[in-house]
Structure 1
Amino acid sequence: MEINEIYQGDTIELVKQLDSSSIDLIVCDGPYGVTTNEWDKVSSIQDYNLNLIKNFSRVLKPGGALYLFGKDDCIDFIDYRPYLTLNRKIIWYQPSRLAQGRLNYTNNYDLICYFSKGKAKTFNLDDIRVPQLVELEHRLRCEKVPSVTNGQYGKTKFNEDGKNPGDVWGDIKQLTYKSKELISRELLNTIQKPAKLIERIVKANSNEGDLVLDPFSGVGTTFAVCKNLKRNFIGFELNPDYVVITKERIEKMS
């Protein structure tokens, strides 16, 4: 397959055409198994995701990373350990979602599972730092507490460039009908993710010139981010209309 191209077809079949150990990073925002959309209908999201993980493990380079989007149960009760290492479950927190629950608590987050093939070879913390939320004076005072200075985190210091974003991301908001980057209303909250969200992932686990795979490319947000950040890209998308949208979107960036 040629790089910096999007291919129309089924991901499970297309990924078989990729060379082993050829991909640096996979950004996988595929089916969640929770909506009535035809593309989201899977009999078991856990079995589906395990099959994806098996296939992705083959094409990832040693140390390569996978970010798998889903709901809170997307990898429950499956053994992914023979294939990839789960580094962190990231909560993408959305407090502004409508409180629709009447018999249970409303779901206000998506899960992003951060895997790597062995130990991650790339994690560019300085590229993804976020503003400190505590006053410098308070932070410096905390650093002098004996349990901190004598503990395993004694070397941790206040960084003026910002802090690690942690595993709860509430600073990146989901798209709304008023978002300038939203391509179509039908894509809201199902197909199209904010560019800032994808940017954080791409910056964290890839470098310029690396190859990023988006196996459910949608309308090409990952492709657009990669182009801006000088990463190479391969995308798969089942819907031919979205392939056209992506190609037009990328051409406008040239």
Structure 2
Amino acid sequence: MLTDPPYNIGGHMKSRGSGVHRLRENHFSICDWDNVDEDVWEQHMLELAEELFEKVKTGGAVVVFMAIIKVQTLKKIFEKAGFYYKTTGIWHKKNPMPRNMNLTFINSTESWLYFTKGKPSGTFNNDGKAIHDYFETGLTPKSEKAFGKHPTQKPLKLMSHLVSLLSNKGDVVCDPFCGSGTSLLAAKNLGRNYVGFDLNEEYLSITQKRLG
């Protein structure tokens, strides 16, 4: 599983009065799906983790993108569901939006957590090379948003990196929050099978167009 669920920090962002949503069209902080009660969000994440534990094969990988301030919370939730915690990695954005750059540090990183099911090791296609838990790309290019915009769309290069490392050709890549479908497109391009879900019909339409 490779997914980028709601971080549920929209309310936090707005409460700080940073005005980020005024700087970028369709910013996640104004989306209803990123602003629910914290207890509700945690329960939803636990239900997701428990359902996944029933579906993921033994040795299968689960990678979940998450805001850094939520990493420990998500780690505990997935461990409670039975998953083995492997590591936390970082995606560094080389060209982040320079908001408030004269007031504070530019926010240029997001984290991802890597779990396995049933045993402490799974597929790792590193060809004997050392792979760091740090991956750097630019933001999602305009060419990957040709069919529509998603406020948290990840670049194809990033998702392809994770798919190629942690799965084999013919495996199934699942994304229960597929958004604009980047994880599924990465799977398709790399010879994996794929299945994705999203509650938003507009985003599903983008995914269908991208997958052809």
TM bucket, shorter chain: 0.7 to 0.9
Do the aligned partners of 1:124 and 1:204 also contact (CA within 8 Å) in 2?
yes
Question: Does residue 240 in structure 1 map to residue 201 in structure 2?
Answer: yes
Between the aligned partners of 1:208 and 1:185, the Cα distance in structure 2 is 29
TM-score normalised over the length of structure 2 = 0.78
Please tell me whether residue 175 in structure 1 is matched to residue 140 in structure 2: yes
Contact 2:176–2:198 (CA under 8 A) maintained in structure 1 = yes
TM-score normalised to the size of structure 1?
0.66
Is 1:50–1:75's contact at 8 Å kept on the other side of the alignment? no
Question: Number of paired residues?
Answer: 186
| 2:140 equivalent to 1:115 | no
* Equivalent of 2:34 in 15, 40, 45: 40
| Structure-1 separation of matches of 2:146 and 2:42 | 30
Spell out, residue by residue over 1:11-36, the C-alpha distance to the aligned partner (whole angstroms, 9 max, x if none).
Answer: xxxxxxxxxxxxxxx01111011222
1:231 Cα deviation from its structure 2 partner: 0.4
Unaligned runs of 5+ in 2: 10-28
Kindly indicate which of the two structures has a greater share of residues assigned to helix.
Answer: 2
Counterpart residue identity of residue 115, structure 1? F
CA distance in 2, matches of 1:248, 1:52: 27
CA displacement, residues 180-210 of structure 1 (integer Å, 9 cap, x when unaligned): 22236742xx332111111011101111110
Give, in whole Å, the separation in 2 of the partners of 1:234 and 1:186: 21
What's the CA shift string for 1:113-159, capped at 9, x where partnerless? 01111223201013xxxxxxxxxxxxxxxxxxxxxxxxxxxxxxxx8
Q: Which runs of structure 1 show a deviation greater than 6 angstroms over 4 or more consecutive aligned residues?
A: none
Moved more, 240-249 or 46-55: 46-55
Letter in 2 for 1:91: I
Q: Take 1:165 and 1:100, find their aligned partners in 2: how far apart are those partners?
A: 33
Alignment of 1:21-170 (within 5 A): 26-34=1-9, 35-44=29-38, 45-77=41-73, 78-82=76-80, 83-97=82-96, 98-100=98-100, 105-117=105-117, 118-126=119-127, 163-170=129-136
| Cα distance in 1 between the residues matched to 2:50 and 2:105 | 33
Separation (CA, whole Å) in 1 of partners of 2:159 and 2:44 = 23
Report the residue type matching 1:28 in the other structure: T
Check whether the contact 1:218–1:237 (CA below 8 A) recurs between aligned residues: yes
CA contact (8 A) 1:42 1:48 kept: no
Q: Which of structures 1 and 2 has the larger relative contact order (alpha carbons within 8 angstroms, sep 6+)?
A: 1
